[in-house]
Amino acid sequence: MQSSSITLSLTIWVPILAGVLTLFLNSERQKDSARWVALIGSILGLAVAIPLWTGFDNASSAMQFVERTSWVSRFNINYALGVDGISMLFVLLNSFTTILVVIAAWEVIQDKVSQYLAAFLIMSGLINGVFAATDAILFYLFFEAMLIPMFLIIGVWGGPRRVYAAVKFFLYTLLGSLLMLAALIYLYNVTNGSFDISDYHRVPLGMTAQTLLFFAFFASFSVKVPMWPVHTWLPDAHVEAPTGGSVILAAITLKIGAYGFLRFNLPIAPDASHALAGFMITLSLIAVVYIGFVALAQTDMKKLVAYSSISHMGFVTLGFFIFNAQGMEGGLVQMVSHGFISAAMFLCIGVLYDRVHSREISAYGGVVNTMPKFAFFAVLFGMANSGLPATSGFVGEFMVILGAMKVNFWFAFAAAITLILGAAYTLWMVKRVVFGDIANDDVRALKDLNGREMLFLSILAIAVLVMGIWPQPFTDVMHSSVDALLKHVATGKLN
């Protein structure tokens, strides 16, 4: 587990190499080879990540599986990797989701197959890099680089308004990224020339510096989460993205923003985090309640789930900024769970879209009559999205609400409104799409799930249920790191 480990490097470079390999299989008759190479590459990607789980030391809050090689020695930039209880699960989640995306694309994507799959594989490696990097510049590099495949996925395989969506996303991201870079350079100077993130955690900082740093990182991460009011890029991006893009976007990239708060804002600016907790909690609760209402008004299924994602991510940031174990672990659990559920929701929408080519709720009705198997999954994931106990969707929300109650009754009160709103927008959509009599000829002509679709939805269903029935293995991983972080934040940097 010392510097000899190459596990993390493998999780980054295996998918990237597989992606590059896939890229070469770009002729028309190599489509199938491209698919198989991508599938094997993504499975290998998960396989090499498994040791992270099996070899993880739950008792330690330190970085594990660390690797460190000097990279640009002039600026003291290192190729430094490591995971702790906060980041480890997301490397696994990402590697896992990549497989699903490859399977989901199998027959659906017929245009530029190899490039499509390659983009996802390369992105998967880059995202693993984001979660594993312990060097600030390396992090920044991965953080920015992963956008490129995502832009391409939306831009090339996206819907009619993809350019608008991409530009909007770009506008949002640009300012934040620059401010983060400035913050990193500032920290580099303060620490006398270090890009090691853990040095930033230790370096003493005054309140003003902390506040400015907090907002610099906030500008970058709040867009990614996304928090209200910088969330409006997400529904557009989702609507334009192909199914796989939506899945990765919701399941993984949103988590990077939340992860950034835990890796940068809280430990680097603990006192500012405390001082600004009210601000963050307010934004989170607005996301939960306001966005919940907005979701209710959506007529496009993807937009609805996109808004639902924003609302659910509000729970994550709420959990982080109430500074107790239930909140923070609840937030992390919610991130993983939302990875499963949002992926499943978008895949379900994709299943319908592939057949009818509409995302409008009103284009459906009575799908259960022709697709009973699909209806089973749609109701299951709909219930999970509504936070039904025994599904993973419940665990995080429950813990965050328990944690919030410790801090303030009204925080818990506002957060718990999601119990009603979440059920309302999700199940109302389920009602209008799945239940009822056959609404039109498109629905009448629907074919039920094929084996491939059964496969990925079943895998996700099992994940959702297992995590809901027995979340302990997931939380046990987090305890040490979360406790250490909470202690660090409680101590502060001012004295």
Partner 1 sequence: MIQNKLALLAIPLLPLLGAVLAGFFGRALGRTFAHSVTILGVTGAFTLSCFVFQDVQAGQAFNGAVYTWLVTDGIPLQVGFLIDSLTVTMMLVVTFVSLMVHIYTIGYMAEDEGYTRFFAYISLFTFSMLMLVMSNNFLQLFFGWEAVGLVSYLLIGFWYKRPTAIYANLKAFLVNRVGDFGFLLGIGLIFAYFGTLDYGTVFSQAAKFKDTLIEVVPGWHWALLTAICICLFIGAMGKSAQFPLHVWLPDSMEGPTPISALIHAATMVTAGIFMVARMSPLFEMSQTALAFVLAIGSITAFFMALIAIVQYDIKRVVAYSTLSQLGYMTMALGAGAYQAGIFHLMTHAFFKAVLFLGAGSVIIAMHHEQDMRKMGGLRKYLPITYFTVLIGALANAGFPPFAGFFSKDSIIEAIHMSQTPGHIIAYYAALAGVFVGGLYSFRLVFFAFHGKERFHDDAYGHAHDHAHDKHDAHDKHDDHADHEHHGLAPGEKPHETPWVVTLPLILLAIPSVLIGWMAIEPMLYGNYFIDSIVPTDTMAMMKKEFHGAWAMVTHGLMTPPFWLALGGAATAWYCYILKPELPAKIRAAFAAPVKLLEEKYYFDRFNDWFFAAGARNLGRGLWKFGDVTIIDGIMVNGTAKLIGWFSGVARKVQTGYLYTYAFTMIIGVFGFLTIVYFKLR
In the complex with partner 1, the residue whose CB is nearer, 9 or 386, is 386
- Residue 135, Ramachandran bin (φ over 0: left; ψ between -120 and 50: alpha; else beta): beta
Identify whether the C-beta of residue 119 lies closer than 8 Å to the C-beta of residue 152.
yes
Q: How many residues does the chain have?
A: 495
CB of 379 to partner 1, least distance (A): 8
In the complex with partner 1, the residue whose CB is nearer, 112 or 406, is 406
Cα 487 to Cα 479: distance, rounded to the nearest angstrom: 12
CB of 458 to partner 1, least distance (A): 12
Helical (H) or strand (E) element with 91: helix 88-105
CB of 212 to partner 1, least distance (A): 22
CB of 363 to partner 1, least distance (A): 16
CB of 135 to partner 1, least distance (A): 32
For 4, the token pair is 């000899």
For 367, the token pair is 């799908």
In the complex with partner 1, the residue whose CB is nearer, 187 or 467, is 467
CB of 237 to partner 1, least distance (A): 13
In the complex with partner 1, the residue whose CB is nearer, 172 or 381, is 172
CB of 57 to partner 1, least distance (A): 17
Measure CA 444 to chain center.
Answer: 35
Nearest to 448 by CA among 351, 340, 353: 351
Fill in the amino acid letter for 121.
Answer: L
In the complex with partner 1, the residue whose CB is nearer, 95 or 426, is 426
Distinct helix (H) and strand (E) counts, the chain: 25, 2
Contacts of 392 (CB under 8 A, 6+ apart): 333, 336, 337, 340, 341, 384, 463, 464, 465, 467, 468, 471
In the complex with partner 1, the residue whose CB is nearer, 129 or 366, is 366
In the complex with partner 1, the residue whose CB is nearer, 34 or 404, is 404
CB of 196 to partner 1, least distance (A): 30
CB of 430 to partner 1, least distance (A): 9
**Residue ranges in contact with partner 1 by CB under 8 A:** 167-168, 171-172, 229, 232-233, 290, 293-298, 324-326, 329-330, 366, 368-369, 379, 383, 388-390, 394-395, 398-399, 401-402, 404-406, 409-410, 412-413, 416-417, 419-421, 423-424, 427-428, 431, 434-437, 470-472, 474-476, 479
In the complex with partner 1, the residue whose CB is nearer, 19 or 319, is 319
In the complex with partner 1, the residue whose CB is nearer, 91 or 165, is 165
Query: For the chain, first and last CA: distance in Å?
Result: 34
Q: Is 448 exposed, middle or buried (0-12, 13-18, 19+ CB in 10 A)?
A: middle
- Residue 65, Ramachandran bin (φ over 0: left; ψ between -120 and 50: alpha; else beta): left
How big is the chain by its Cα radius of gyration, in Å?
A: 22
Helical (H) or strand (E) element with 80: strand 77-83
Cα 124 to Cα 13: distance, rounded to the nearest angstrom: 9
Q: Which residues pair with 300 in a beta bridge?
A: 360
Contacts of 160 (CB under 8 A, 6+ apart): 240
Task: Give phi and psi for 80, each to the nearest 5.
Answer: -120, 125
CB of 31 to partner 1, least distance (A): 35
In the complex with partner 1, the residue whose CB is nearer, 41 or 387, is 387
Give, as one character, the DSSP assignment of residue 242: -
Nearest to 303 by CA among 253, 357, 235: 235
CB of 431 to partner 1, least distance (A): 5
What sign does the dihedral 469-258-351-360 (CA atoms) show?
positive
Cα 239 to Cα 305: distance, rounded to the nearest angstrom: 10
In the complex with partner 1, the residue whose CB is nearer, 51 or 436, is 436
